[in-house]
Structure 1
Amino acid sequence: MTQSVVVQGDTSLCSAVGQCGNQVGCRFWDLALREHAHVNKTGVYDDALSSFFRNVDSRKSDGGACGFGGRIQHLKARAVLVDMEEGVVNEILQGPLSEVFDSTQLLTDVSGSGNNWAVGHMSYGSVYREQIVDKLRKAAEHCDCLQCFFLIHSMGGGTGSGLGTRVLSLLEEEFPEVCRIVTSVYPSPEDDVITSPYNSVLAMKELSEHADCVIPVENQSLVDIVNKIKHMSDGGKPGLTIRKDSSIISGQGGLRGAEKPFDAMNNIVANLLLNITRLDQMFSDAFSKDHQLLRANPKHSLYLACALMVRGNVQVSDLRRNIERLRPSLPFVSWNQEGWKTGLCSVPPVGHSHSLLALANNTCVKSTFLDLKERFTKLYRKKAHLHHYLHVEGMEQSCFSEAITSLSSLIEEYHHLDATKGKLIPDAPRLSIAR
Structure 2
Amino acid sequence: MTQSVVVQVGQCGNQVGYRFWDLALREHAHVNKKGQYDEAISSFFRNVDSRRSCRTSVGEKIHQLKARAVLVDMEEGVVNQILQGPLRDVFDSTQLLTDVSGSGNNWAVGYMTYGSAYREQIVDQLRKAAEQCDCLQCFFLIHSMGGGTGSGLGTRVLRLLEDEFPEVCRIVTSVYPSEADDVVTSPYNSVLAMRELSEHANCVLPVENQSLVNIVNRIRHGSGKAGVRMDSSVISGCGGLSTGEKPFDAMNNIVANLLLHMTSSARFPGSLNMDLNEIPMNLVPFPRLHYLVPSLTPLYSLADVNIPPRRLDQMFSDAFSKEQQLIEAEPRRSLYLACALLLRGDVGVSDLQRNIQRLRPTLPFVWWNLDGWKAGLCSVPPVGHAHSLLALANNTCLKFTFSRLKERFMKLYKKKAHLHHYLHVEGLEQSTFSEAVSSLSSLIAEYQELDITKDKVVPHAPRLTIAT
- The answer to whether TM tops 0.5 is yes
CA distance in 1, matches of 2:85, 2:62: 12
Q: Which of residues 47, 56, 59 is equivalent to 2:48?
A: 56
Q: Which of residues 385, 401, 416 is equivalent to 2:418?
A: 385
In structure 2, the residue matched to 1:210 is 200
CA distance in 1, matches of 2:180, 2:235: 26
**Letter of the structure 2 residue corresponding to residue 302 of structure 1:** L
CA distance in 2, matches of 1:353, 1:83: 38
Q: Which of residues 229, 236, 245 is equivalent to 1:259?
A: 245
Secondary structure of 2:404's match?
A: helix
In structure 1, the residue matched to 2:296 is 274
- Going from structure 1 to structure 2, the CA distance change for 1:341 and 1:316 (only over 3 Å counts) comes to same
In structure 1, the residue matched to 2:292 is none
In structure 2, the residue matched to 1:194 is 184
Q: Which of residues 331, 340, 358 is equivalent to 2:391?
A: 358
In structure 2, the residue matched to 1:32 is 24
Q: Provide Cα deviations, 1:261-285, integer angstroms capped at 9, x if missing partner.
A: 0000001110116222432111111
Secondary structure of 2:434's match?
A: helix
- Going from structure 1 to structure 2, the CA distance change for 1:233 and 1:348 (only over 3 Å counts) comes to farther
CA distance in 1, matches of 2:50, 2:381: 32
In structure 2, the residue matched to 1:150 is 140
Answer yes or no: is the 8 Å Cα contact 1:36–1:49 preserved in 2: yes
Secondary structure of 2:454's match?
A: coil
In structure 2, the residue matched to 1:168 is 158
CA distance in 2, matches of 1:95, 1:127: 29
Aligned residues: 411
Structure 1 runs, 4 residues or longer, greater than 3 Å off: 64-73, 241-254
Calculate the TM-score normalised by the size of structure 2: 0.84
- Going from structure 1 to structure 2, the CA distance change for 1:181 and 1:207 (only over 3 Å counts) comes to same
Secondary structure of 2:15's match?
A: helix
- Going from structure 1 to structure 2, the CA distance change for 1:206 and 1:186 (only over 3 Å counts) comes to same
Larger mean CA deviation between 210-219 and 253-262 belongs to: 253-262
CA distance in 2, matches of 1:18, 1:274: 25
- After superposition, residues 65-84 of structure 1 pair within 5 angstroms as 65=54, 67-70=56-59, 73-84=63-74
Secondary structure of 1:228's match?
A: helix
In structure 2, the residue matched to 1:4 is none
**Letter of the structure 1 residue corresponding to residue 341 of structure 2:** L
- Going from structure 1 to structure 2, the CA distance change for 1:248 and 1:198 (only over 3 Å counts) comes to same
Query: 2:129 aligned with 1:139, yes or no?
Result: yes
CA distance in 1, matches of 2:62, 2:242: 16
In structure 1, the residue matched to 2:276 is none
Secondary structure of 1:57's match?
A: strand
In structure 2, the residue matched to 1:316 is 349
**Letter of the structure 2 residue corresponding to residue 398 of structure 1:** S
CA distance in 2, matches of 1:40, 1:186: 35
1:366 CA drift (Å): 0.9
Secondary structure of 1:12's match?
A: strand
Calculate the TM-score normalised by the size of structure 1: 0.91
Secondary structure of 1:234's match?
A: helix
1:58 CA drift (Å): 5.5
Secondary structure of 1:144's match?
A: coil
Secondary structure of 1:414's match?
A: helix
Answer yes or no: is the 8 Å Cα contact 1:19–1:88 preserved in 2: yes
CA distance in 2, matches of 1:180, 1:95: 29
1:314 CA drift (Å): 1.5
- Going from structure 1 to structure 2, the CA distance change for 1:249 and 1:54 (only over 3 Å counts) comes to farther
**Letter of the structure 2 residue corresponding to residue 90 of structure 1:** N
CA distance in 1, matches of 2:128, 2:109: 26
Q: Provide Cα deviations, 1:62-106, integer angstroms capped at 9, x if missing partner.
A: xx5554434865211111111111011111111110011111111
**Letter of the structure 2 residue corresponding to residue 100 of structure 1:** V
**Letter of the structure 2 residue corresponding to residue 392 of structure 1:** V
Q: Provide Cα deviations, 1:85-129, integer angstroms capped at 9, x if missing partner.
A: 101111111111001111111111111100000000000000000
Q: Provide Cα deviations, 1:178-233, integer angstroms capped at 9, x if missing partner.
A: 11111211111111111011000000111111011111111101111112222343
In structure 1, the residue matched to 2:378 is 345
- After superposition, residues 419-430 of structure 1 pair within 5 angstroms as 419-424=452-457
CA distance in 2, matches of 1:23, 1:253: 12
In structure 2, the residue matched to 1:297 is 330
In structure 2, the residue matched to 1:10 is 2
CA distance in 2, matches of 1:222, 1:261: 12
CA distance in 1, matches of 2:179, 2:116: 31
**Letter of the structure 1 residue corresponding to residue 29 of structure 2:** A
Query: 2:113 aligned with 1:123, yes or no?
Result: yes
Larger mean CA deviation between 172-181 and 226-235 belongs to: 226-235
CA distance in 1, matches of 2:62, 2:175: 31
- Going from structure 1 to structure 2, the CA distance change for 1:253 and 1:166 (only over 3 Å counts) comes to farther
CA distance in 1, matches of 2:147, 2:136: 30
CA distance in 2, matches of 1:38, 1:314: 20
**Letter of the structure 2 residue corresponding to residue 79 of structure 1:** A
Answer yes or no: is the 8 Å Cα contact 1:195–1:385 preserved in 2: yes
CA distance in 2, matches of 1:43, 1:353: 23
Query: 2:84 aligned with 1:103, yes or no?
Result: no
Tell me the percent identity.
77
Q: Structure 2: any 5+ residue segments left out of the alignment?
A: 259-294, 299-309, 460-468
In structure 1, the residue matched to 2:35 is 43
Answer yes or no: is the 8 Å Cα contact 1:31–1:250 preserved in 2: no
Answer yes or no: is the 8 Å Cα contact 1:303–1:332 preserved in 2: yes
Answer yes or no: is the 8 Å Cα contact 2:237–2:244 preserved in 1: no
Q: Provide Cα deviations, 1:26-67, integer angstroms capped at 9, x if missing partner.
A: 11001110001111111011101001110111657xxx5554
In structure 2, the residue matched to 1:3 is none
CA distance in 2, matches of 1:127, 1:172: 19
Larger mean CA deviation between 71-80 and 409-418 belongs to: 71-80
Answer yes or no: is the 8 Å Cα contact 1:81–1:107 preserved in 2: yes
Q: Which of residues 400, 406, 409 is equivalent to 1:373?
A: 406
Q: Provide Cα deviations, 1:391-420, integer angstroms capped at 9, x if missing partner.
A: 000000000000000000000000111110
**Letter of the structure 1 residue corresponding to residue 39 of structure 2:** D
- Going from structure 1 to structure 2, the CA distance change for 1:143 and 1:105 (only over 3 Å counts) comes to same
Q: Provide Cα deviations, 1:120-165, integer angstroms capped at 9, x if missing partner.
A: 0000000000000001100110011111112121111101110000
